[in-house]
Structure formats: structure tokens, C-alpha cells
Amino acid sequence: LAKTTQPISMDSYEGQEVNITCSHNNIATNDYITWYQQFPSQGPRFIIQGYKTKVTNEVASLFIPADRKSSTLSLPRVSLSDTAVYYCLVGDVNTGFQKLVFGTGTRLLVSP
Amino acid sequence: NAGVMQNPRHLVRRRGQEARLRCSPMKGHSHVYWYRQLPEEGLKFMVYLQKENIIDESGMPKERFSAEFPKEGPSILRIQQVVRGDSAAYFCASSALTGRNTEAFFGQGTRLTVV
């Protein structure tokens, strides 16, 4: 299983763009990169998933360089409600969701 | 469309008692996953079930813990003879299928406190 490394915490202000980078040096050919968000006292919520290049949805963008050894979750114009823990998961989703490993995540604090 | 429902939200048990945690997956979902989360830590996979089958229990402690997902009714995570170290948040997730772009939906969790 590919190990992931993320910053433990990040601080930002409302309206700024936040980029959270995840390192996954030993990512395998069949692995996808998935990001989840977790608010206090709630279960994680799917944000975005990608394999290579760039993926964008209504919530975030995911940038994956050609070597796929890292990925960056980009949150445009964050608000206070984006304060949460963000998890980067790497794994072959074809072998089952349970194979995706949650690390300790990045704790994002958005201030006014 | 109701999401993944877990109950109870909070459960207090004395050491040695049994804890039963319930999870009703989203409508149409036949895959259920249980995770445990200790304070300030990430989620740790415990068990993956489909209807009437345990598919992967590699994350389950060998003793005192069991899980089921019967043909009818919710999935149950059962912890016998609870100890203080079992205190944690237990999350259930469900998905419609496995494979590419599988998205699992999580419930709000059951917070177990062992006193």
C-alpha cells in the first residue's frame, strides 16, 4: 500500500486559496488518489478523486503531476466552514474501498 | 434519500459489558465498511462486509469483536467485554459497488465511551 505524507496542519484566512500537498512516492500504476474531508464529530465526506493531470469539481481541484508521486488538493476561496481535517488516500480502488488507508490527515484552520 | 444511519450516536458502557453498534447503509448499497477512530488520529479500517458475508476482516481485533450484515436489517458491530481502550468513534460507510470511482458514504459515527 502506498504510504502518504501530508502536513499535519495548515492555517488560512477566509477568501484565500488553499493548497494541500500529499506525497506518495511509491504509488502503484493502478492506484488512484482520493481526498476526503472530515468535520468534527462527523464521518468523512468524499471530495475528489483522480488518476493523473487535473480533476475539477464544484468543490475543489486536484492536481497530479506526470510522475504521480505527489498530488495537490486546491480549495478556492475558503470560508470558515472549510475548517476540517483533509485526508489523502492512495490505493487501487478496483481491489476495494477498504484498501484505501486513512492517515492522520491535514488539519485546516480557516480564520476570519 | 437518507444517508448512512448509525445508532446510537453516543454509547456509554461499563467495563465488561457488551456494546452493539448499528449501521443502516444507504438505500441500494450492499457494501458496508466499519472503521475506528481514536482522538486526533485517522480512521483505521476494521471490516468489510456484503450481505451475509464478511469479505475482509483484516483490521478486526482477534478477540471480543465481531461484525455481521444480515440479509435483512442493519449491519452490527459487536464488542464483547468492553475495556477502556475500546473507547473511540466507530464509523460505518457504505458503497453501491467496488471498483473505479467508488465513492463510499460515511455515517456520523457512534462514540463509545467505556467507564
Summarize pLDDT for B22-60 with one digit per residue, the tens: 999 999 888 999 999 998 788 999 999 998 899 999 999
pLDDT recorded at residue B99: 59
A59-63: long-range contacts (C-beta < 8 A, 24 or more apart)? A60/A35, A62/A33, A62/A35
Give the closest of B4, B35, B48 to A96, CB-based: B48
Partners of residue B45 in chain A, C-beta under 8 Å: 98, 101-102
pLDDT recorded at residue A97: 78
Q: How far is B108 from chain A (nearest CA, A)?
A: 5
Distance, CA of A108 to CA of A20 (rounded, Å): 9
Q: Which of B79, B76, B83, B55 is nearest to B65 (CA)?
A: B79
Cβ atoms < 10 Å from Cβ of A40: 7
| Contact across the interface for B98 and A94, Cβ inside 8 Å | yes
Average pLDDT value over all residues in chain A? 92
Cα A4 to Cα A43, A88, A99, B108, B115, distances in angstroms: 20, 7, 13, 25, 35
Q: Answer whether residue A98 shows pLDDT above 80.
A: no
Partners of residue B101 in chain A, C-beta under 8 Å: 49, 93
Cβ–Cβ under 8 Å, residues A31 and A92: yes
Give the closest of A98, A102, A104 to B48, CB-based: A98
Q: Answer whether residue B1 shows pLDDT above 90.
A: no
Partners of residue A94 in chain B, C-beta under 8 Å: 98-100
Cβ–Cβ under 8 Å, residues A94 and B102: no
- B55: its cell numbers: 469479505
Give the closest of B41, B92, B106 to A104, CB-based: B41
Give the closest of B44, B45, B91 to A43, CB-based: B91
Q: Answer whether residue A83 shows pLDDT above 80.
A: yes
Assess B33–A contact: CB distance below 8 Å, yes or no.
yes
